[in-house]
Amino acid sequence: MTSAALGRDGAVAVDETPEGGRRLSSAERRRQILQAAKSDYETLRAQQKHFEDLLAATESEMVETGQAAVKLQDLQRQWEEHLAPMRTTDHLPMTNSRALVELRKAMPRDAILVTDSSNPANQAFNEFPIYGPKTNIVAGGMSGIGFGVPAAIGAQLGEPGKQVVALVGDGSFLQTGTELALAAMLDLPLVVVVLNNGGWEAIKDLQINLFGEDRKVSTDWQRGGEPYFAQIADLARSLGCEAERVEDPTELGAAVKRAVENQSGPVLIEAMSSRELPWSEMHPTGWWDITVPAYLSNTREEYVEKRGF
């Protein structure tokens, strides 16, 4: 018996078994396996198509019979119920959900909302009703902090007849907020609402939830052991904007209305918002895929379970 070999030139030596039966060369075996896999794949694709057709037929039946609308209304009701406690609370500092409710009530219906990144943007995405096309500009999946103010300046220049409102976190504002100098020079009647919670709260909450309370790093701004807050309204005034700070959520709507009425130049509202869990937590609607190291075994197990794969 000689052994089968695939030569460098691709030539295959075929062995004979002692009984004289022909043994397959490794290339032939590989070919057979690939052929079988291909045929399995084709069967699966055919089944997938079959189920897709069934699903589409069921969905259109649900739309035609009105069941889909009923289901959507029910989901919407559940969502509103879930949001209600954080939307209606008078807790100080105010929750983002409450701020969004007050902002929506005070903003003209056709105003353009420009969001930045982090919790203010993600919560607006999930919680803030948008009534018409082209009235919400977002940073998209890249979600780079600092998008909001420059994008809002562009939107206000592009749509001089509409009110543009930027909604920005303090950490995001500190990246590009100095561009308000340009808005002041151009007398743009832009409104900027900054939710100031003294830190990079979304990242802080992530650090706490995934790694533990003792693993906050640089996100919970402090100076001399005390919480640190940038004086955002003062900074805006120094650049030539009108500005006010609001601490009580019941006063936010009136402040936004004043800002919208003031068409002589940019107005900034600094709304002091929650920096501690659970008040600072956004309502999760998806999965932020941040790996938990194996040495945090309990947290990791929970993470893997919630991730679902």
Ligand X SMILES: Cc1ncc(C[n+]2csc(CCOP(=O)(O)OP(=O)(O)O)c2C)c(N)n1
Q: How far is the CB of 207 from Mg ion (least distance, A)?
A: 14
- 191: its two tokens: 């409104």
Nearer of residues 125 and 159 to ligand X, judged by Cβ: 125
Q: Which of 101, 125, 102 is nearest to 114 (CA)?
A: 125
Q: How far is the CB of 194 from ligand X (least distance, A)?
A: 9
- Is residue 270 involved in binding ligand X (CB under 6 A)? no
Nearer of residues 4 and 230 to ligand X, judged by Cβ: 230
Other C-beta atoms within 10 Å of 303: how many? 17
Binds 172, which of Mg ion, ligand X, none (CB < 5 to 8 A, cut-off by type)? Answer: ligand X
Q: Hey, CA dihedral for 71, 73, 79, 85, is it positive or negative? A: negative
Q: How far is the CB of 257 from ligand X (least distance, A)?
A: 24
Binds 274, which of ligand X, Mg ion, none (CB < 5 to 8 A, cut-off by type)? Answer: none
- Is residue 93 involved in binding Mg ion (CB under 5 A)? no
Nearer of residues 95 and 117 to ligand X, judged by Cβ: 117
Nearer of residues 156 and 176 to ligand X, judged by Cβ: 176
Give me the helix-helix angle, 201-211 and 118-127, nearest 10°.
90
- Cα separation, 107 vs 266, in Å, equals 15
Q: Is the bond preceding 293 in cis, omega lying within 30 degrees of 0? A: no
- Is residue 171 involved in binding Mg ion (CB under 5 A)? yes
- Cα separation, 57 vs 55, in Å, equals 5
Instruction: Write out 82-126 in H/E/C secondary structure.
Output: HHHHHHHCCCCCECHHHHHHHHHHHCCCCCEEEECCHHHHHHHHH
- Is residue 266 involved in binding ligand X (CB under 6 A)? no
In this structure, are strands 164-169 and 222-223 parallel, antiparallel, or unpaired?
unpaired
- Is residue 169 involved in binding ligand X (CB under 6 A)? yes
- Is residue 249 involved in binding Mg ion (CB under 5 A)? no
Footprint of ligand X (CB under 6 A): 117-120, 143-145, 169-172, 197, 199-203
Footprint of Mg ion (CB under 5 A): 169-171, 197, 201
